[in-house]
Amino acid sequence: MLESYRIKNKRRSSASSKTNIIIYEYDVANELISETYRQGIDQIKQITYEYDGNGNLTKKTTTEGLDTTVVEYTYNMANQLINDGVNTYAYDECGNQISNGIFDFAHNVKNRIIKVSGVGDGSVVAEYAYDANGLRLSKTTSSGTIYSNNLL
């Protein structure tokens, strides 16, 4: 893989061969605004990105051949993602994500995730335990428990 870079370590292009090239473009805020995929001289795919004044991604447009897909992203006043075109996200008063449309997240008083469960059915996917310093001690899933910090 050959890669070239420009100012501020932003990738300008990458090539997996002499004929397959990806060209990257950035705006003045150094945000990625487009990726163009070329095979030889033919453009086979282009992805463009749009951002709001806070640097949040608001729109992603993918064009491949004659097909174009647009995904729009919305944010709340705290600049937290609340919708990605598929899933709806929710947050508690501390700013912790409590749902991503697929999973619900429960947090302890120190804002650490203690339980992940499926949206709708409430099935527990994982549970976490922490010590007094906030370091994770264990993760329990249907496969068993994994302990951290050499605890048995």
46-74 pLDDT per residue, tens: 999 999 999 999 999 999 999 999 999 99
Residue 45 identity (one-letter amino acid): K
CB atoms closer than 10 angstroms to residue 105: 19
Percentage of residues of the chain with pLDDT beyond 70? 86
- What are the CA-CA distances from residue 142 to residues 12, 42, 63, 95, 98 (Å)? 44, 48, 40, 28, 21
Mean pLDDT of 97-125: 96
pLDDT in the model for residue 20: 87
> Pick the residue with more confidence: 122 or 90?
90
CB atoms closer than 10 angstroms to residue 116: 19
pLDDT over threshold 90, residue 12: no
Averaged pLDDT score across all residues of the chain? 89
Rounded CA-CA distance 102/118 in Å is: 6
- What are the CA-CA distances from residue 90 to residues 11, 77, 80, 81, 87 (Å)? 33, 13, 9, 8, 10
